[in-house]
Amino acid sequence: MENLDIFMKKYRLQLNAQQREAVGRISGATLLLAVPGSGKTTVVICRIAYMIRMKKIPPESILTLTFSKAGARDLSRRYLKIFGEKGAEGLRFSTIHSFTLSVIRHYERLYHRRAFQIVENTGSIIRELFQELFKSYPAENDIVDIVSAITYCKNMLLSEEEIGEMKVGDVDFPKLFKAYEAYKRRHHLMDFDDMLKYAWLLLKKNPELLKVFTSQYKYINIDEAQDTSKIQYEIIRLLSGEDGNVFMVGDEDQSIYGFRGAYPDGLLSFKETYPHGEVLLMETNHRSTQEIVNAANRFIRLNKERYVKNMRTDNEKGVPAVHEYVKSVEDQYWFILKSVKNEGKETAVLYRNNESVIPLVDLFEREGVPYAVKEHNPLFFTHFIVQDIRSFAALAADPSDFETFEKIYYKMNCNISRKNVLEAGKLSESGQDVFEALLSLDEIPEWLVEKVENIRAAFKRLASMSAQEGLDFIVWNMGYREHLDYRVSCGYREEQLNQKLDILKTLAGRESTMNAFLKRLDVLQEALRGSALHQKADVTFSTIHSSKGLEFEKVFIIDAVEGEFPSMAALDDSEEGRRLFCEEVRLFYVGVTRARRELEFISVGKKNSRHNRRPVSQFVRVFLGEKAPEAARKKITGGVIGETSKAQGKGFGIFDVSIVRKAELKEVDCSAYVPGAAVTHQGFGEGIILEMKKDMATIDFEGCGRKKLNIKVCVTNKIIRLQD
C-alpha cells in the first residue's frame, strides 16, 4: 500500500483503515457497505483518482453510475474540486438511464437501425388513454400513481401474470398498461424505463454490442447501489461478468425506494452473483453523536435479513434523543414553530407523508418565519378529496351551478340517476336552482322528492357554517363518508384518504368561513411552489425520502404514532405488510441518522395513556431503548427481504396487494359487531358501536368523535377488532 500512502500524502487525504482498504481494492468484484455518515462519496472519488493517478488506469475505461442526475453531477463536481481536471478527460459520471440510452444509440449506429423516440411526457399519454378507456377524467394523483406503477413493473421485471394482478386505486391497471404499451409500439416510442429494458435485451442478445462496452469500460463503479432495481442489476451483471472489476457502494439498511423498484436483494445476493467477490465494511459514522449512533445501530437490528454491521463513532457522547408529547396535531405545529424561533440553529423537520408539510407551511407563513421545503410534491391540491370539498362548497354558494352538481351528485349517497341529472341539467340552463329543477321533473318518485329536499336543506345549512363545521358536515352528514368507504372497497387505502381529511381539518380550523378556507388553499399552493426561494432559512421541511444524503444539527421527526410511522399498510399481518414493515424500519433509520447532535420525536397524545387517538410509534419506543412490542416482533420473524417467493416478487410498495376484493368482503363474519360492542381501531383508538346499517357502523371513539366506517372493510384489513 506504499502507493496509497504517497497518494494520501500528496492530496492531504485522511482516511481510516476501512476507507483505505476500499480505496486500495481495484481488481475484482467488491461490495462496499457504508453506514450513514461514513464518507462513502469521499471513498468513491478517492478510489477513482487513485486508479488514474497511481495505477495509471485510463480514465475513459472507468464508468461510474448513480441513480440521479444530481448525484452524477455531485460526484463529478467533488472529484474536480479535489483532484482537478488534469487526467480526468474521458472520465464518465452518469445515471444508468443515460448510459442505457447510449447503448441503444450505439446499437442504432452499429446496425444502421433506428430504434425508438423518447417519450417526453408519459403522463399526457396516460391521461389520453385513461379518458379513452374509462370515459372519465383522471385526477393528477391517479396519473402519478399509474406512472409509478409502470416504472415499478419494468424495473422489477414483472411477468404479464404478475402485472395482471396489480391494482392502483380503483383503476383497471392491467388494461391501461396494455393500452399504454400498444400505444408506444404504434408510435415507435419508448419511455425512460423502456431504456433499461431495451438496453438489457440488446446487450443480452447481441454479443458484438456487449463487447463494445465491456471492452471500453474495464472498471465499473455503482454509487447508491441500494437504490438499484432488479433490471439495473441485470445490466450491471452483463457489463461486469462474474469476475469483472465492479465496485458497488451502498447500504441495504438504507434501501427506501421499494415503491419505484429498488431491490435490496441485489446487495444481499452479491456473493451469489460474484462468487469471487469481496464484501467490505465502512462502519464509522463521522456525522452523529454516540447517543444517536448507538440507538440507531440498535434499532436497525429489528430487520434480520441484512449484513451484520456495527456502526460506531468517535464523536462526542451527546444528549439522548427526546420524545415530546403534545395534546393535538395543532399543538405539534406550534411546538415546532416555537422551537425554531427560540433556538436559531440548523434544523430539519422530517415526516413520512408529503402532505404533512402543508399545515407547517401555513403556520410559518402566517407567523412570518422563514423556512425551506425540500422537493415538495403539490399533488395534495389536485387530489379528488380536495376537489370534492371545493365542489360541495361551490354548490352551497351557488345552487344553480349545474356543472359542479354533476361532479358530486353521485358522491352524496342520494341515489339520483344519471338520467334525472341530465334532464334537470336542461332545465337549469336558464339559471334555475339545480334542486328545483330536479323536483320539477315528471314522474319523479316520492322517495326521491324527499331525498332531494333533504339535500337542498343540507346545502343551505352548509352555506352558513364555519370552515371546520362545514368540512365535518360534508363528510359525516352529506353522504361523503360513504363515498370514501366505497373508494376504500375499490382499492384506495383508508389511511391515505383520512390523512387528506385530517390536513384539511387542521387548515379549516384556522379560518372562519368556508370561502376563506378555500382561498387559503390557493395561497398555500402558491407558497409551496415558491418554497425553494427560502434558501437562507434555519429550518428545512422534508420527507425522509428527500432528506437522504443530507444532515442537520437538529432533527425533529413528527407524527410519531402508529398508522403514520409505521403506516397502516406496514402493520398489516401479511407477507406484503411484513415487506413494507422492513422498508419502513429502514426509512426510520435513514431519518434518525440525518441528525448530527440533537434528535427529537413528537407524538400526539399523553404519555403512557391507553386513550390516545393513536398509540406512540413502536419505532420510537424501540429507538429509545424500550422492548420491541409484540406487533414488531411478529413482523421481523423470518427473512423477508432475502426471500424470493412469488408473493414477494410482486411487492407493489405503494400499490396495494392487500386490497380488499369484493369476494373477500363477503366471507368476513361481522355478526359480533353490534350496537353496544366495544372496539379498538388502529387509527381512532377505543370506541363503542352506536348504530349498524348493513355494513356501515357509526362508532363513538374516545377523543376522536363519531365515525362512520365500513365494518367489513375494516375487519378484512385487520384495522379494527372487538375488545376482550
Residues in binding site for ATP: 34-41
The backbone torsions φ and ψ at residue 556, rounded to the nearest 5 degrees and listed phi first, read -100, 135
**698 contacts: CB under 8 Å, gap ≥ 6:** 689, 690, 691, 692, 706, 707, 708
Residues in the annotated binding site: 34-41
Please give the Cα distance from 180 to 173 (Å, whole number): 10
| Structural contact between residues 412 and 389, judged by C-beta atoms closer than 8 angstroms | no
Question: Which of 196, 201, 241 is closest to 65 using CA atoms?
Answer: 196
**350 contacts: CB under 8 Å, gap ≥ 6:** 542, 543, 544, 547, 555, 556, 557, 558, 591, 594
The torsion region of residue 135 among left (phi > 0), alpha (psi -120 to 50) and beta comes to: left
Please give the Cα distance from 724 to 718 (Å, whole number): 16
| Structural contact between residues 560 and 603, judged by C-beta atoms closer than 8 angstroms | yes
**529 contacts: CB under 8 Å, gap ≥ 6:** 378
First to last CA, the chain: 67
Three-state secondary structure readout of 234-259: HHHHHHHCCCCEEEEEECHHHCCCHH
Strand order in the sheet with 595-604: 322-326, 595-604, 552-557, 347-351, 539-543, 372-374
| Structural contact between residues 528 and 366, judged by C-beta atoms closer than 8 angstroms | no
Beta bridge partners of 30: 247, 278
Report CA torsion sign: 82, 87, 89, 92.
Answer: negative
Please give the Cα distance from 31 to 642 (Å, whole number): 17
Please give the Cα distance from 67 to 390 (Å, whole number): 39
Report CA torsion sign: 699, 704, 706, 708.
Answer: negative
Cis ω for the linkage preceding 138 (within 30 of 0) = no
Please give the Cα distance from 339 to 413 (Å, whole number): 45
| Structural contact between residues 625 and 299, judged by C-beta atoms closer than 8 angstroms | no
Please give the Cα distance from 296 to 622 (Å, whole number): 10
Residue 354 is classified by DSSP as G
Give 472: exposed, middle or buried? Use CB within 10 Å, 0-12, 13-18, 19+: middle
